[in-house]
Amino acid sequence: MISSARARTVANLAAASCLALLLGACGGGFSLPSLTSSPPPPAAEPGVAPEMPATIRADEIVGRWGLASFQNPADRARTEAAARAQCRNPYVITAGSSGGVIMHLADQATPQELRLKGSPSGKNYIGPAGPTPGDQDREIVSFDGRVLITRFIDKDAAVRYGNMVYVRCAPRA
């Protein structure tokens, strides 16, 4: 009787050892339910960085602008003169209600409020809320307070519109 009880204990231990080895070989594919009532930690949102402020303020670009564009950098001076001549029919950038500026997006007939956004690289962009640079954004290539040059991020829009040159129009008398 002692030998059969001992044999049963040894058999149970062997079975438990085999089961432990099999579960260990699963490599973590099997988990036991938690006995605590706390929920699992929430997953972090992938790739969403906080929006950085631009080094150019929206109020710096609000105003009346002559507008022209160029493809070839050698045409910049001529294009600035052409933009200045457009002040008779200026492109008006107004302040938005949420701190942005009212401008057109590429291929959009209706202007909308856009944000001035910064980036870790130090570049500034104008575009809708969202990742920087976004497909609808335009990079501010240069700005000296009098001349603003932008280029669309979207390759197709950049080819069609070129480098947009805004020349500040003199205030109305």
Domain ranges of the chain: 52-168
pLDDT digits (tens, 9 = 90+) for 32-66: 444 445 555 544 444 445 679 999 999 999 999 99
Contact at 8 Å (CB) between 139 and 122? no
Place of tokens 């001992």: 6
The encoded tokens of residue 14 equal 């062997």
Mean pLDDT score, 9-19: 51
The mean predicted confidence, pLDDT, of the chain is 83
pTM: predicted TM-score of the whole model, two decimal places? 0.70
CB-count exposure of residue 159 (10 Å: 0-12, 13-18, 19+): exposed
